[in-house]
Structure 1
Amino acid sequence: MKMQTTEKITGNQLGLLIFTFIGSTIVLTIPGWTVMIAKQNGWISVIPSTVTGLLTLWALTTLANRYPGLTITQYGSKIIGKWLGKCLGFYYIYFWFHSISVLTIQHTFFIKTLLLPKSPTIVGSLSLLILCGIAVIAGIEVIGRCNEFLTPLILVALIPILILAIGEADPVRLKPVLGEGILPVLQGAVIPAGAFMNQVFILGWLLPYLTQPKKARKVSLIAFFSISILIFIIVLLTIMVLGTLTGKLTYSFLSLMQYIGIEGSFERLEAIAVAVWVMGNFVKVCVSLFILCLCISQLFGIRNYRDIVAPLTLLSIIGSACVFKSGAELQAYLAFIYPSVGFITQSLIPLSLLMIDTIKRKADNSLL
C-alpha cells in the first residue's frame, strides 16, 4: 500500500538534508579517524570511502523507482516475504533507536567536554530530544524547511575557517605520499565508508515524500559529492596544519580551529564548532527520530506516526543515558564497531534487497 501523506519535501530540501545528515558533525572527528590509520595519507582515504555511499544511493533510488510511494520498511516485505520483512523491520527499529541514543550521548559528551563540564549528562540529552520531538511532531516538511535555513549557516561558519587554515597549511606534512603503499589508505577508508558515507541510507524513508521523485538520484548525487568534496578539503587542510598529530586528537578539526584562533587574528573560534555541531546534530536526531516513528507505525499499522513521537522521545532519553558510560567507550564504538554495523545495515542490506528483487523479476519474466 502506498503512503498517503500530505507532507512533501522538495528536491533541494532532500539534498540539504543529506548534506547536513552526513557532514554536519563528522567534519570535527573524521580527520582524526582517517589519519589514525592512514597517517599523512588520510586525505587519500576519503576518495575510496565514497564507494559504499554511491552504491547505497544507487540501490535505494533504483528500489524507490520500482516501488514508488513505499519506504524500505514496506517494500522489504514485498521483496523477501512477509515474515522476513517484519524481522527486517524490527531490525531497522533497533538500529534507529540505537543510532538516536548514540547521537544524543555523543552530543552531550561534546558539550560537556567543551562548554559545560559540570552539567549532568541527562540535561544535554533532555534538551536536545525534547526539541527534536517537537520538530518531528511538526513533520518532515517542517524539518526540511528548518534545515534549509540551518545548512547555509553551517557553510557560512565553516568556509572562513577553511580560508584561514590555508595560511597555516604546510604541504610538506603530506609527504611521503603512499610511502607505505596503498593498504593503509584503504584501511583508513573503512571508518568513513562504513560509518558515514553510506548515511544516504535515510533515502529509504525520505524518497516517498519527495515532490518530484524523478529528481531523487540527481539531487542525492549532488549532495553526496558536495559533502565528499568538503570532507576531502577538511581532512587535507587538517593534515597540512596539524600533521600526524591529527590522528591522536578526538576532535581534530576543532583543534585546528583553536590553533588558528591562537595564531591568527581571531580568537575563540571553537564557538563556531559548537554552533555547527549543535545545528547539525539537531537535524540528524530529528530525521532519525522521524524515521524511527515511521518504521514502527508502518510495521504495526499505526495510522499516524505522530501518536508515538512522545513515548519514543522518552525512551530515547533513557537509551542515551544507558548506551555508554564514558566518552572513551563511545569513541571506541564509533571508530571500531559502528563502521561494520553501518556497512551491513546501510549498504549491504539495500544492495541485497536490490539483487533479490532483480532476480525475482527476471525469473518472473522468464516464466511469461
Structure 2
Amino acid sequence: MESAEKISGRQFSLLIFSFIAPTVILVIPGLMSNISKQDAWMTIFPSVLIGALNIWIMIKLSKRYPGMTIVQYSSEILGKWLGKVLGCYLIYVWINFDFIILNQHIQFINTVFLMRTPSVIISLTLAILCGIAVYMGIEAIARCNEYLALLNFVFLIPLLLLMLAESDPERLRPVLGNGIFPVLQASVFPIAYISQFFILGWLLPFLNQPKKASKVSFISLFIISGLLCITLLPLIMVFGPLTEKLVFPVLSVIQYIGIEGSFERLEALAVAIWVMGCFIKISTTLFIICLSIGQIFNIRNYKDLVIPITILSVIGSVTVFRNYSTDLGNYLNSTYPSYAFFTHFVLPLTLLIIDSVKRSWRKSVH
C-alpha cells in the first residue's frame, strides 16, 4: 500500500544524515579513542563496510515488499503471529532508543548550557517541538531538515578549520602501534551508530523515487563516514591521549580553540548542532514508533498516538537511568554496541535469509 506522504531523494539523504551524524560526531570519538588510542580514525573503515551491507539488506527487503515497512513485511516473512512479536520487539527498541536520545540531550544541555535547569523541563521543551513535527508528518520533518542540515554544515566547517589550526600531526603516531586488533575492537562503536541505516526499513516506503534508494543511501553513508573521519583526525591531533578521557570530546576541543574577542564561547555552535540533530532524530524516532504501533494494532491514523507517545518519551527520558552520567556511560560502552548490532544488522539479515530460503523453496516446488 502506497503512502500519501512522499519525500524526495535529496530530502531522504539529508534526513538520514541528520539522524545519524550529529550525535555520532559529538558522542562516540571518546569511546573509540579509549580502546584504539591514536588509531581511532581507522575504526571508520570497518564501520563503512557494515553500513554498506546494512543498506544493501534493507533495500533488498524493500524491493521484495514495495510500499511496506519492516513491521509489515515481517509478518509476510515470518507469519502473522511471529511477525507481530517481532514488531512489538521493534517498538520496544525504538521506545528505548527514544528515551536514551532524550536522556543524552538532557545531559548535554545540563553539561554545557543550563546546569541548574530541571531535567524534565529540558526534555519537555524539545519533546513538544518533536511531537508537533510528527503530527505534521514525515514530509514536514524532511522539509524542515533541509534547512537544519544546511545550518549544521555551515556551523561545522569553520569549527573544523579552527581545529586544524591547533593540530599536531605527531599525535597520530605511531600508526598501528598496538596492532590491528584494538582498531577492530573499537570499531564496534561506529558500527553501532552507522548501522542505524536500519531506519531505511521505515523510510523507504516514503521515498518518491524508489529507484534512487541505493544512490541516496550510499551518499549519506559516505558523507557521514567522511565527516566522522575529518572530525576524529584533528580531534586526536589536538588532544592526543586526552581524547579518551573526555565525555564530549568535540565540545571540549571547541571550547579549547575559542579565539579571544568575537570568537569566544564557540560551544554555542556545538549546542546548536546538537539541538538540531536531536530534534530531527527524536522527531523521526517518534514518527517510527507511532507508525509501527498503528500498523501492528491496525490504528488507521498514526497521528492519534503522537500525544501519548510524546508524554511517554518525557517520562522515560528522566527515569531511564538513576545516575545519569554513570549509567548512560556504562550503557553506551557495554550494552548498546552489541544490542544495536543484533537489532540493526543481524535481525534484518536473518529476515532476508529466511525470505530467500522460502522463495527458493517455492520455486523448487513449482
Same fold (TM over 0.5): yes
Task: Give the TM-score normalised by structure 1.
Answer: 0.97
User: Aligned in 2, Cα 1:45/1:264: closer, same or farther, shift over 3 Å?
Assistant: farther
Within 5 Å, which residues of 2 pair with 1:314-353? 314-325=311-322, 326-353=324-351
Gaps of 5+ in 1: none
In the alignment, which of 49, 59, 67 is matched to residue 51 of structure 1? 49
Equivalent residue number for residue 38 of structure 1? 36
Equivalent residue number for residue 176 of structure 2? 178
Q: Give aligned-pair identity as a percent.
A: 54
* Counterpart residue identity of residue 275, structure 1: A
Within 5 Å, which residues of 2 pair with 1:1-368? 2-3=1-2, 5-194=3-192, 196-261=193-258, 266-325=263-322, 326-368=324-366
Cα offset for 1:51? 2.2
State the alpha-carbon separation in 1 of the partners of residues 292 and 94 from structure 2.
9
Task: Give the TM-score normalised by structure 2.
Answer: 0.98
User: Aligned in 2, Cα 1:31/1:264: closer, same or farther, shift over 3 Å?
Assistant: farther
State the alpha-carbon separation in 1 of the partners of residues 38 and 233 from structure 2.
9
* Contact 1:260-1:266 within 8 A present in 2 as well: no
Runs (4+) of structure 1 exceeding 4 A deviation are 262-265
Q: Can you list the C-alpha shifts for 1:208-227, whole angstroms capped at 9, x where unaligned?
A: 01100110111000011111
State the alpha-carbon separation in 2 of the partners of residues 73 and 176 from structure 1.
47
State the alpha-carbon separation in 2 of the partners of residues 222 and 318 from structure 1.
36
* Counterpart residue identity of residue 104, structure 1: L
State the alpha-carbon separation in 1 of the partners of residues 304 and 187 from structure 2.
41
Q: Can you list the C-alpha shifts for 1:82-132, whole angstroms capped at 9, x where unaligned?
A: 111011000011011111111111101110111111110100111111110
State the alpha-carbon separation in 2 of the partners of residues 237 and 329 from structure 1.
29
State the alpha-carbon separation in 2 of the partners of residues 263 and 26 from structure 1.
29
* Counterpart residue identity of residue 309, structure 2: L
Q: Can you list the C-alpha shifts for 1:33-88, whole angstroms capped at 9, x where unaligned?
A: 11011011101111112222211111000111110000000001111111110110
State the alpha-carbon separation in 2 of the partners of residues 363 and 237 from structure 1.
53
Q: Can you list the C-alpha shifts for 1:19-46, whole angstroms capped at 9, x where unaligned?
A: 0111012211221111011011101111
State the alpha-carbon separation in 1 of the partners of residues 54 and 105 from structure 2.
26
After TM superposition, the structure 1 stretch with the greater mean CA deviation from structure 2, 299-308 or 324-333, is 324-333
Q: Can you list the C-alpha shifts for 1:225-264, whole angstroms capped at 9, x where unaligned?
A: 1110000111111001110100100000111111111589
User: Aligned in 2, Cα 1:215/1:51: closer, same or farther, shift over 3 Å?
Assistant: same
* Contact 1:136-1:286 within 8 A present in 2 as well: yes
Aligned CA-pair RMSD:
1.2
State the alpha-carbon separation in 1 of the partners of residues 127 and 117 from structure 2.
16
State the alpha-carbon separation in 2 of the partners of residues 50 and 264 from structure 1.
40
* Counterpart residue identity of residue 247, structure 2: T
Q: The residue matched to 1:169 in structure 2 has which SS?
A: coil
State the alpha-carbon separation in 2 of the partners of residues 118 and 167 from structure 1.
34
State the alpha-carbon separation in 2 of the partners of residues 264 and 355 from structure 1.
60
The aligned length equals 365
* Counterpart residue identity of residue 346, structure 1: H
